[in-house]
Amino acid sequence: MSDNPLLNSFDTLHQTAPYDKIKPEHFIPAIKMAIEEGKKEIETIVNNTDQPDFENTILALEHSGQLLNKVSHILFHLNGAETSPEIQNNVREASPLLTEFSNDISLNPELFKRVKAVWEQMDHLKLDQESKMLLDNTYKGFARNGANLDEKDKERFREINKELSQLSISFSENVLHETNEYALHITQESDLTGLPDFAKEAAKATAASQQKEGWIITLQAPSYLPFMQYAENRELRKELFMAFNSRGYLGNKNDNQENVYQIVKLRYEKARLLGYKTWADYILEERMADSVKIVEDFLADIRQYAEPAAAKELDELTIYARNNGFQDEKLQRWDVSYYSEKLKKEKFAINDELLKPYFKLENVLEGIFTLADKLYGITFKENPDIAGWHDEVKAFEVFDENGELLSVWYGDYFPRTGKRAGAWNNTIQSQWIENGVEFRPHVVNVCNFSRPTETKPSLLTFNEVTTLFHEFGHALHAMLAKGKYSSLSGTSVAWDFVELPSQIMENFAAEPEVLKLFARHYETGELIPDEYIRKIKDSSNFMAGLGNIRQLGLGTIDMKWHSKAPDNESIEEFEAKNDTGAAVYPKVEGISVSTAFSHIFSGGYSAGYYSYKWSEVLDADAFELFKEKGIFNKEVAESFRDNILSKGGSEKPMELYRKFRGRAPKAEAMFKRSGLLENN
């Protein structure tokens, strides 16, 4: 029995991580020991004198490294959700060790020889579909990670992977520091004119938490977005906009420009070493959209519909602004959210301040749980005895219709200085079966919503409601997994397929039958009026053209960074040509998308940001079936669970989609839902 809890079997309920006992100093010793254990497991496979077969090579490899997976998953989860200088130091020290160990596996010639020998027998082996997928993925994993390179190129491959690992960590830390180090301290209440009470109260609470008078606006979404939407003080909106959009671009200690150049350069070199034209070609080989041309054509199709709609919307917004006192020739980017919110309220008589009282966080969660029960027969029971990584974290046991444990699920919902911005889903432990024993998943949803104040609970905007539904969709994908192999379980699917379960859940959030499950006024208990629901629906496509252009711009920037050889072009020059999202507005000096674009430079979305729009095609088309049959239709829900949610990566995504829908997806569903067809 070790005094390091990470090295022991977790004797907790459902073998959950004992976060209350884990300390930063436990990680590096545990990782080093886990690596040594992993090396011995690989040696056992390589030194096996029996002929290579599925069990003694592929399955043995699949089940190796479990201790290392356990420890590293916890470390990197904490680095996102509750980091500290000590955790960050651990990550910096652990990353090269993990990269080196990964390289030792993928570049081991004797191990690859055994894997290849089994792969070449695939057609003669009596394997089910899932096992064939595991075998094929295992072989490709080696080939795509340098197994066929000569010794000189293998050495360079190792160096590139190590450098990329460090650069990604540096990029992420710089964005976090830039976000945390900025504060707009307001001492004159007149500078808050236009801001709703909920935003003022939150800003005052932030100031009080820092022992300051007045109000503090931060770059965290619950603080930043309301100020940009409501504050009449244009100069302060500009200041906040510039601070947010210049993160990593200020030439200071947190500057990310060199990180961007080096990451792009090294990814290109890595792809070329492996025989691919560009990094995008390498990445897309294993996606539904399996070529650069397919992605570029897809983005061009969106642009064809979105640009005319965006132009009309911007003209309408400019006219409205001028009629309401705006005197400049063109709207600036720090004006758009402000006047959009005013126009939206005028056109639809709806805004966040009107809706937020109906979206108490706890009520929204209960609504999501009820929806999950109606669709999939699963129930949630909070268990305070399951330790979290912070006092604010809530842990739930998730049960199926027979009362059997499906998963442990954690929710973490408020901003903290040790928590990166945004919202995400994380799987701490995947689902798999080994020696007849099934291991169920441990899943995390992390968001950054407004905290409760002295007078109000946490009240969400409708956009935050859809974010909550979105991340819960990812969680369902992990929680409902029903496979044999961890590497194919849950969200381990093609990157442009992984957003289907999350984005289809967003559709439910706006349906009247679903809103009636949870949208009650936090003070009176009054159910949300039908009129408000209609207004939510009516306003759902408000500024959809500009919204699509924004996403199109991000997808284009991503593809342009990764679908060509690096050159000496500055970030400013590069974005001036490729940021279609900014091109509709006057140019703003001193800002950058790339230097804080964490999705592609420190997340897993490089050459893959298009997948959000790609998945919109899938989710819009899939949800039409729910609409046709009834959104709580058990037969449709069961089909979606059996063919999509439970299957993970056990089959090709298009095959899974066809099994659910009976045909390939139709892009018209997305254009129709977003209103872009009507605007063209």
Convert the pLDDT of each residue in 522-567 to its tens digit.
Answer: 999 999 999 999 999 999 999 999 999 999 999 999 999 999 999 9
* 607: three-class secondary structure by DSSP: coil
Using an 8 Å Cβ cutoff, are 609 and 600 in contact?
yes
Q: How many CB atoms lie within 10 A of CB 469?
A: 23
Whole-number Cα distances in Å, 291 to 249, 264, 296, 666: 31, 19, 9, 19
**Alpha carbon distance 421, 221 (integer Å):** 7
Q: What percent of the chain has pLDDT over 90?
A: 95
Q: Is the dihedral of CA 493, 497, 499, 502 positive or negative?
A: negative
Q: At what angle do helices 462-479 and 361-376 cross, to 10 degrees?
A: 40
Q: What angle do CA 395, 64, 93 make, to 5 degrees?
A: 70
Q: How many whole angstroms separate alpha carbon 590 and alpha carbon 251?
A: 11
Burial class of residue 91 (count of CB atoms within 10 Å of its CB; 0-12, 13-18, 19+): buried
Measured between alpha carbons, how far is 499 from 212 in angstroms, rounded to an integer? 42
Q: Which residue has the tokens 């409501």?
A: 230
- SS3 track for 551-594: HHHHHHHHHHHHCCCCCCCCHHHHHHHHCCCCCCCCCCCCCCCH
Residue-wise pLDDT for 96-129, tens only, equals: 999 999 999 999 999 999 999 999 999 999 999 9
Cross-strand partners of 424? 446
Residues 6 or more apart from 12 whose CB is under 8 A from it?
Answer: 18, 386, 387
CA distances from 128 to 116, 119, 132, 140, 494 (A): 19, 14, 6, 18, 20
Q: What is the pLDDT of residues 275-299, one digit of tens each?
A: 999 999 999 999 999 999 999 999 9
Q: What percent of the chain has pLDDT over 70?
A: 100
In the chain, what's the furthest Cα-to-Cα distance? 82
Read off the pLDDT of each residue in 568-581 and give the average, rounded to a whole number: 92
Would you say residue 598 has pLDDT above 70?
Answer: yes
Phi/psi at 97 (nearest 5 deg)?
-65, -45
Distance CA 416, CA 83 (A): 10
45/47 Cα distance (integer angstroms): 6
407: three-class secondary structure by DSSP? strand
**Whether the Cβ atoms of residue 385 and residue 13 lie closer than 8 Å to each other:** yes
Least confident of 292-296, 444-448, 664-668: 664-668
CB distance 285 to 535 below 8 Å = no
Q: In a 3-state reduction of DSSP, which class is residue 656? A: helix
Q: Is 4 left (phi over 0), alpha (psi -120 to 50) or beta?
A: beta
User: What is the model's pLDDT at position 680?
Assistant: 54
Cα Rg of the chain (Å, integer): 25
Q: Is the pLDDT of residue 93 over 70?
A: yes
Residue 453: pLDDT over 90: no
Binning pLDDT at 50, 70 and 90, where does residue 2 land? Answer: confident
Give backbone dihedrals phi and psi of 235, rounded to 5 degrees, phi first. Answer: -65, -40
Domains defined for the chain, CATH in brackets: 5-106+108-148 (1.20.1050.40), 182-245 (no CATH), 257-350+544-609 (1.10.1370.10), 357-538 (1.10.1370.40)
Least Cα distance to 414 among 427, 425, 423 occurs for 423
Query: Please, are residues 84 and 22 in contact by the beta-carbon 8 Å criterion?
Result: no
Please tell me whether the overall predicted TM-score, pTM, comes out greater than 0.75 for this model. Answer: yes
pLDDT of residue 454: 85
Task: Note the pLDDT tens digit of each residue in 163-217.
Answer: 999 999 999 999 999 999 999 999 999 999 999 999 999 999 999 999 999 999 9
Residue 604 phi, psi (nearest 5) = -105, 20
pLDDT in tens, 57-80: 999 999 999 999 999 999 999 999
Distance CA 674, CA 619 (A): 12
Q: Read out DSSP for 441-459?
A: PEEEEE---PPP-SS---B
Would you please indicate which residues are annotated as catalytic (active-site) residues?
A: 471
